[in-house]
Chain A
Amino acid sequence: MDRRTSIKWMMAVAAAMQSLQLQAGDAAARDVSASQAGYGSDPNLMKEWHPGGPWPLTLSENARLTTAALCDLIIPADDMSPAASAVGVVDFIDEWVSAPYPQQRADREVILPGLIWIEAEALKRFGKAFPAVSDAQRAAIADDICAPAKATAEFASAAKFFAKFRDLTAGGFYTTPVGMKDIGYTGNVPHTKFEGPPLEALKKAGLA
């Protein structure tokens, strides 16, 4: 990020911190147009679709960096698969919060203030932007907000945001070929016969 946008972002974050208002600022995203059309009731199902195709992406560069850091905190690389940001989840979340449909517009009202909040929280606790803090520092914030039922009143809104962000991250990740392989989906392959469950699966369920 260039210095100018960086300062703008930090000022927005600082303002949010001061007012403790979880309002989406200009720095998190460009406005979505109220008249933005969707893909219509007869979209071409045979062409390649990509985020940014059916409607413009709106997250700011900084908000995308925060999104990347947060979705990789939720789905980091491990022995089975890479981190969420490596398979297009940031583009996907941007597509989701920029979409013109009621569900996505409602989610935008949770996600954008949440991104601002988490930046403010990193700044408050560690004096740095969220993407710049250490893994342990990110975890310290996440530990306070990852379990909605256990979150204190102070973190209740942030926990709601985190749960929604985690759902989007998981959906974005596990729908990709990499994510499907990780979770153990072995279908979508033509077969001449359907063999039914293997014996070891039946045994595990006490059925053989």
Chain B
Amino acid sequence: MEGARVLMLEAGRNYTPATETPMMQVNSQGPLRGSGTPEKPFGFWDATIDGGWQVPGEPYSSASDDPARQFVWWRARMLGGRTNHWGRISLRNGPYDFKPHSRDGLGFDWPMSYEDLAPYYDKVEMLIGVYGENDDMENTPNSPAGVLLPAPKPLVSDLYFKKHAAKLGVPAIAGHRAVLTTQLDHTRLPKLLHPGNAKAQKILAADMQKRAACFFATPCGRGCSIRANYQSTTVHLPPALDTGNLDIVTDAMVRAITKRADGSAEGVVYIDRKTGAEHRVKARIVVLAASALESVRIMLNSGVANSSGKVGKYIMDTVGAGFGGQVPVLENMPLHNEDGVDGLHLYTPWWLYKEQLAGKLGFARGYHIEFGGGRDMPNMGTAMGLEWLNGGNYGKKFKEDARRYYGSFFYMSGRGEMIPNDDCYAEIDPNLKDKFGIPVLRFHWKWSPHEIGQAAHMEKTFKDVLDAMGGRYSRQPQSGEKAIKQGGIIIHEVGGAMMGNDPTKSVTNSYGQCWDMKNLFITDGATLCSNADKNPTLTIMALAWRASDHMLNLMKRKEL
């Protein structure tokens, strides 16, 4: 959009949301009533192509046989990658999240502050469209006026949670998700996003008008053919292609970065997924945005930018645990449509900063709660396993019970910060290669007591909230060890090429520019120094925009 000529290499196939999105299909129209399978882990209609925790022909390995020490790696092989299927939850990191070591002595500070990134959070929110409200909560930043879109009205179950969780001091505020609850303001925003660039403004204004507002039906994870939510294939790529400055090559599996004689990056070698042929491309700047761990893999296989020895180190996921039950007051509700925006009308930001800093909790970092109930589109879980409520029956009584209990279930998922540790890293497996002959990653993983303690706190808190809601549950809260999801399951893996101020202890500077290779940049999650409870996508995009501005400045100054 700012004039640079860009060649994008995508490891997966081309993908066209306008013609490939199953917008209104119901589950009985798909195999197995749309249930998830190893080939489509998030359900048949999910947007993911050639992806999941296992990709055929593209293995990875674990250093340990113990499942608790194993990391599972989600990938998607399609244009736009996992932005096509993600949850669209868009939360800003707060000021504490950039200086965690200064605050509690653990982990690493970022080489930047919240104020450095805030203007880019503003720009990303204005470009992609994020609904939400400003609630003045601790370490939960407001956005400037005119940036956020209106939040959708809460569901009955949201309001019921809010009323009763408040008794325990657990707050509930508007969620923030990348869904257009109204159309973007094409007259105002392009000028703010590309000041002084008439061509970019014109292209963006035209494209914003082609994005429809949400029509409050069909799940976001299928992708959105009307372009009402954010996925890079419907938001970033169309206007970029309209500039004429972007070329995209799909089915291009990058094997390694090539070097010039002076040690700078020359370009990359990639393998055509369809023909197996090897191709080389050259560039003034090479940008890795292959997803955090795929970028790490490319760097390790290339043997570049690793004088610090930190490439592959400090990989993180999000701490996840969940607990749910059934809430009698929500039974037999008057019929009404609760599709809404498909999630997170309200959520709970971390609310115990002061207690935690005072050492009262026994673990160091916080979590937010993604909660929800409601009358979702029926799936294979609908009316499943009602025995714990009705003992088990059949016939007309069963049909009555199915109606009675439908929409009365309520679930809380904790999403918490993991502190980077020395036991979580990726390296090249010396023995294993993928179907292209490219060496694969081997993972090492271990949760620390902070994450385990946090997961136990989630379970206990969620049970207490359900009690306050008059809810019933079929099991008691578990220990943290049992409750915590396996590393990689939440699919928020970041780190592995951390940014910093010291070239001996980090891989890149705050712009994702590699210390050892000035024309190699990383703009995915690999550079994150911490993994706050806030879902990382918004932060990754803000960092990428900031890095891009820096690249353009260096190019203009002929420093690159």
Interface residues, chain A, with chain B CB atoms under 8 Å away: 38-43, 45-46, 48-49, 51, 53-54, 73-76, 78, 80-81, 88, 92, 95-96, 99, 101-104, 139, 142, 146-150, 159, 162-163, 166-167, 170-172, 174-177, 179-180, 182-198, 200-202, 204-207
Contacts and interface: CB of A to CB of B under 8 A. Distances in A.
B394 A142 contact: yes
Nearest to A96: B32
B337 A179 contact: no
Contacts of B382: 170-171, 174-175, 183
Interface string B58-82: 0000000000000000000000000
Contacts of B216: 190-191, 193-194
B160 A205 contact: yes
Contacts of B338: 187, 197
Tell me which of B28, B38, B181, B402 has the highest count of chain A C-beta atoms within 10 A of its own C-beta.
Answer: B28
B282 interface: no
Contacts of A193: 216
Contact of A190 (B153, B159, B217, B375): B217
Interface string B1-26: 00000000000010000011110111
Interface stretch (B44-52, B133-141, B197-205, B507-515): B44-52
B336 interface: yes
A88 B26 CA distance: 14
Top 7 A-B pairs, shortest CB-CB distance: A196-B153, A171-B380, A187-B339, A147-B392, A190-B215, A170-B383, A175-B27
Given A149-B387, A176-B28, A45 B159 contact: no
A78 B396 contact: yes
B303 interface: no
B32 A99 contact: yes
30 contacts: A41-B39, A43-B44, A45-B30, A46-B19, A46-B22, A49-B30, A76-B395, A142-B394, A142-B395, A146-B393, A159-B392, A166-B398, A167-B385, A172-B28, A175-B26, A175-B34, A175-B379, A175-B382, A177-B26, A183-B403, A186-B375, A190-B216, A192-B215, A193-B216, A194-B153, A194-B181, A194-B214, A194-B340, A197-B156, A202-B156
Contact of B394 (A49, A74, A202, A204): A74
A183 B217 contact: no
Nearest to B213: A192
B335 A186 contact: yes
A150 B392 CA distance: 9
A176 B377 CA distance: 10
Interface residues of B, number: 79
Nearest to A104: B32
B371 interface: no
Nearest to B30: A49
Given A41-B49, A147-B391, A198-B336, A205 B330 contact: yes
B24 A102 contact: no
Given A171-B33, A184-B335, A41 B153 contact: no
A189 B337 contact: yes
Contacts, number: 230
Given A101-B32, A103-B37, A207-B159, 4 more contacts: A41-B50, A188-B217, A188-B339, A196-B154
Contacts of A96: 32
B381 interface: yes
Given A92-B33, A175-B26, A195-B153, A187 B377 contact: yes
A171 B383 contact: yes
B378 interface: yes
Contact of B37 (A38, A42, A139): A38
Contacts of A186: 335-337, 375
Contacts of B22: 45-46
Contacts of B52: 41
A74 B30 contact: no
Among A104, A150, A196, A204, residue most surrounded by chain B Cβ atoms (within 10 Å): A196
Given A46-B22, A184-B335, A197-B336, A191 B398 contact: no
A187 B387 contact: no
Interface in B318-347: 329-330, 333-341
A144 B406 CA distance: 26
A99 B49 CA distance: 20
A174 B391 CA distance: 20
B40 interface: yes
A171 B396 CA distance: 16
B393 A147 contact: yes
A175 to B, nearest CB: 4
Contacts of B487: none
A193 B44 CA distance: 28
Contacts of B333: 201, 204-205
A182 B159 contact: no
A76 B396 CA distance: 7
Contacts of B376: 185, 187
